[in-house]
Amino acid sequence: MADLRNNFVGIKSPNPFWLASAPPTDKAYNVERAFKAGWGGVVWKTLGEEGPPVVNVNGPRYGAIWGADRRLLGLNNIELITDRDLYTNLREMKQVKMNWPDRALIASIMVPCEENAWKSILPLVEETGADGIELNFGCPHGMSERGMGAAVGQVPEYIEMVVRWCKQYTRMPVITKLTPNIADIRKPARAAKSGGTDAVSLINTINSITSVNLDTFSPEPSINGKGSHGGYCGPAVKPIALNMVAEIARDPETHGLPISGIGGITTWRDAAEFLVLGAGNVQVCTAAMTYGFKIVQEMISGLSDWMDAKGHRDLDDICGRAVPNVSDWQYLNLNYIAKAKIDQDSCIKCGRCHIACEDTSHQAITQFVDGVRRFEVMEDECVGCNLCVNVCPVQDCITMVGLEPGMLDERTGKTVDPNYANWTTHPNNPMARQAAE
Amino acid sequence: MGTTETGILSGRLSPVEYEKNFSDLHPPLDGHEALVAADRCYFCYDAPCMTACPTSIDIPLFIRQISTGNPIGSANTIFDQNILGGMCARVCPTETLCEQACVRNEAEHRPVEIGRLQRYAADIAMRENRQFYQRAEPSGKSIAVIGAGPAGLACAHRLAVKGHDVTIYDAREKAGGLNEYGIATYKAVDDFAQAEVDYVLAIGGIEIRNRQMLGRDFSLADMLAKHDAVFLGLGLAGVNALRAEGETAEGVEDAVDFIAALRQSQTRADIAIGRRVVVLGGGMTAVDAAVQAKLLGAEEVTICYRRGKEHMNASEFEQDLAAAKGVTIRHWLQPKRIIARDGRVAGIELDYTTIADGRLTTTGETGVITADHVLKAIGQTFEADGLGIITLQSGRIVVDGEGRTSLDRVWAGGDCVLGGEDLTVSAVAQGRDAAESINHVLAAASQPAVAVA
Ligand SMILES: Cc1cc2nc3c(=O)[nH]c(=O)nc-3n(C[C@H](O)[C@H](O)[C@H](O)COP(=O)(O)OP(=O)(O)OC[C@H]3O[C@@H](n4cnc5c(N)ncnc54)[C@H](O)[C@@H]3O)c2cc1C
Ligand SMILES: Cc1cc2nc3c(=O)[nH]c(=O)nc-3n(C[C@H](O)[C@H](O)[C@H](O)COP(=O)(O)O)c2cc1C
Ligand code: SF4
Q: Which among A346, A351, A394 is the nearest to B45, CB-wise?
A: A351
Give the type of residue at A258: P
Separation in Å, CA of B104 to nearest CA in chain A? 7
All residues of chain B having their beta carbon less than 8 Å from the beta carbon of residue A68 are 39-40
**Rounded-to-integer distance, Cα A177 and Cα A175, Å:** 6
pLDDT (0 to 100) of residue A69: 84
Model confidence at A414: pLDDT above 80 = yes
What angle (nearest 5°) sits at the alpha carbon of residue B361, between those of residues B357 and B363?
110
Q: In this predicted structure, what is the pLDDT of residue B16?
A: 94
Task: Say whether pLDDT at B453 is over 80.
Answer: no
Interface test with A, best of B45, B49, B104 (most A CBs within 10 A): B45
Q: Is A308 left (phi over 0), alpha (psi -120 to 50) or beta?
A: alpha
Give how far B108 is from chain A: nearest CA, Å.
10
For the stretch B300-324, pLDDT in tens is 999 999 999 999 999 888 999 999 9
d(CA B98, CA B54): 9
Shortest alpha-carbon distance between residue B36 and chain A (Å): 6
Strand pairing category for A132-136 and A104-109: parallel
Nearest CA to ligand 2 atom 2: A22
Which ligand number lies closest to the CA of residue A139? 2
Contacts for A123 with CB less than 8 Å, ≥ 6 apart: A169, A170
B426-444 mean pLDDT: 97
Task: Give per-residue pLDDT as tens, B206-239.
Answer: 999 999 999 999 999 999 999 999 999 999 999 8
Calpha distance A201→A205 (Å, rounded):
12
- The answer to whether the CB of B235 is under 6 A from ligand 1 is yes
| DSSP secondary structure string for all residues of B185-233 | GGGS-TTHHHHHHHHHHTTSSEEEE-S--BTTTB-HHHHHHHSSEEEE-
> Cβ contact (<8 Å) for A350 and B35?
no
For residue range B194-206, what is the model confidence (pLDDT) as tens digits?
A: 999 999 999 999 9
Residues B165-176: what's their mean pLDDT? 98
Which residue's CA is the nearest one to ligand 3's atom 8? B41
How many beta carbons lie within 10 A of that of residue B255, not counting itself?
Answer: 27
Q: What is the DSSP letter of B314?
A: S
- What pLDDT does residue A147 have? 81
Q: Which of B35, B36, B48 sits opposite A349 (nearest CB)?
A: B48
Chain A residues with CB-CB distance to B40 below 8 A: 68
B:227-256 residues touching chain A, CB 8 A cutoff: none
Question: With 90 as the cut, is the pLDDT of residue A253 above it?
Answer: yes
**Cβ atoms of residues B325 and B291 within 8 Å:** yes
The alpha carbon of residue B113 is apart from the nearest alpha carbon of chain A, in Å, by 15
Map residue B245 onto helix, strand or coil: strand
Average model confidence (pLDDT) across chain A: 95
ipTM summary value: 0.78
User: B155: part of which helix (H) or strand (E)?
Assistant: helix B150-161
Average pLDDT over residues A363-375: 97
Chain B residues near residue A355 by CB distance under 8 angstroms? 45-46
B36 and chain A: CB distance < 8 Å anywhere? Answer: yes
Q: Residues with Cβ < 8 Å from B413, sequence gap 6 or more?
A: B151, B155, B231, B232, B233, B399, B403, B427, B430, B431, B433, B434
CB atoms B36 and A346 under 8 Å = no
In this structure, the number of other CB atoms found within 10 A of the CB of residue B196 comes to: 25
Tens-place pLDDT, residues B59-113: 999 999 999 899 999 999 999 999 999 999 999 999 999 999 999 999 899 999 9
Question: Which numbered ligand comes closest to the C-alpha of B58?
Answer: 3
C-alpha–C-alpha distance, residues B153 and B172, integer Å: 14
CB contact under 8 A, A68 and B39: yes
Q: Do B45 and A69 touch (CB under 8 A)?
A: no
pLDDT digits (tens, 9 = 90+) for A380-398: 999 999 999 999 999 999 9
Rounded to whole angstroms, what are the CA distances from A45 to A20, A84, A90, B244, B311? 8, 10, 11, 87, 70
**Cβ of A69 and B36 within 8 Å?**
yes
Which one, of A175, A160, A165, lies nearest residue A10 by Cα? Answer: A175
What is the CA(A271)–ligand 3 centre distance, in A?
Answer: 35
Q: Is the pLDDT of residue B417 over 80?
A: yes
Provide the annotated active-site residues of A. 139
Residue whose CA is closest, atom 3 of ligand 2?
Answer: A22
CA triple B399-B400-B403, angle to 5 deg? 65
Measured from the CB, is residue B147 less than 6 Å from ligand 3? Answer: no
Question: Where does residue A27 fall: left (phi above 0), alpha (psi -120 to 50 degrees), or beta otherwise?
Answer: beta
Distance CA A19, CA A17 (A): 7
Residue B272, pLDDT score: 96
- Closest residue of A to B109, CA-based? A348
Q: Residue A356: in which H helix or E strand, if any?
A: helix A352-360
Residue partners of A115: CB distance under 8 A and separation at least 6: A165
Range name among A182-186, A354-358, B141-145, B245-249 with the lowest pLDDT average: B245-249
Closest Cα of chain A to B31: distance in Å? Answer: 13
Q: For residue range B357-386, list pLDDT tens digits in order.
A: 999 999 999 999 999 999 999 999 999 888
Burial B99-133, CB ≥16 within 10 A → b, else e: bebbbbebeeeebbbbbbbbbbbbbbbbeeeeebb
Identify whether the C-beta of residue B312 lies closer than 8 Å to the C-beta of residue B322.
no
Instruction: Say whether B46 and A367 touch across the interface (CB within 8 A).
Output: yes
Residue-level pLDDT at B309: 94
Q: Is B43 on the interface with A (CB under 8 A)?
A: yes
Task: Using alpha carbons, select from A164, A192, A199, A189 the residue that is nearest to residue A251.
Answer: A189
Q: Show Cβ contacts of residue B321 under 8 Å, excluding neighbours closer than 6 positions.
A: B25, B287, B291
If one counts every other C-beta atom within 10 angstroms of the C-beta of residue A84, the result is: 16
When pLDDT is cut at 50, 70 and 90, the band that residue A68 belongs to is confident
* Segment A210-214 mean pLDDT: 96
Q: Which domains does chain A have, with CATH numbers?
A: 6-325 (3.20.20.70), 332-436 (3.30.70.20)
DSSP character for B165?
E
Question: How far are the Cα atoms of B252, B331, B342 from residue B246, in angstroms, in the given order?
Answer: 9, 22, 12
Average pLDDT over residues B165-184: 97
A349 contacts on B by Cβ (under 8 Å): 44, 48, 103, 106
Per-residue pLDDT at B42 exceeds 60? yes
Q: Which of A70, A346, A352 sits opposite B44 (nearest CB)?
A: A352
Q: Does residue B261 line the site of ligand 3, with CB under 6 A?
A: no
Helix axes of A115-126 and A156-169: crossing angle, nearest 10 degrees: 40
Task: Please list every residue in chain B whose beta carbon sits closer than 8 Å to the beta carbon of residue A351.
Answer: 44-47
Mean pLDDT of A140-147: 78
Distances from the Cα of A79 to the Cα of A106, B339, B361, angstroms: 20, 83, 82
What is the number of residues in chain B?
453
Tell me the CA–centroid distance for residue B79 and ligand 3, in Å: 19
Sorted by sequence, the CB contacts under 8 Å of residue B414 that are 6+ apart come out as B147, B149, B150, B151, B152, B233, B234, B235, B420, B426, B427, B430, B431
Bridge pairing between strands A199-202 and A259-262 = parallel
pLDDT, residue B452, reads: 55
pLDDT at A435 (0 to 100):
75
Other C-beta atoms closer than 10 Å to the C-beta of B219 total 15
CB A351 to CB B44 under 8 A? yes
Give the residue whose CA is nearest to atom 6 of ligand 2. Answer: A22
% of chain A residues with pLDDT over 90: 93
Per residue, the 3-state secondary structure of A260-312, as one string, reads EEECCCCCHHHHHHHHHCCCCEEEECHHHHHHCCCHHHHHHHHHHHHHHHHCC
Most B-contacting residue of A213, A348, A365, A375 (CB-CB within 10 A), to test interface: A348
Helices (H) and strands (E) in chain A, counts: 14, 22
Contacting residues of B for A346, CB less than 8 Å apart: 107
Q: Are the C-beta atoms of residues A273 and A282 closer than 8 Å to each other?
A: no
pLDDT band at B451; cut points 50, 70, 90: low
Cβ distance of B107 and A367 shorter than 8 Å: no
CA dist B290 and B273 (Å) reads 11
Q: Supply the mean pLDDT for chain B.
A: 95
**What whole-number distance in Å separates Cα of residue B277 and Cα of residue B294?**
9
HSE of A267 in the Cβ direction (CA atoms, 13 Å)? 4
Contact B93, B317 (CB under 8 A): yes
Task: Output the residue whose Cα is nearest ligand 3's atom 1.
Answer: B102
Contact between B42 and A373 using a beta-carbon 8 Å cutoff: no
Which CA distances in Å does B242 have to A57, B102, B247, B341? Answer: 79, 40, 7, 19
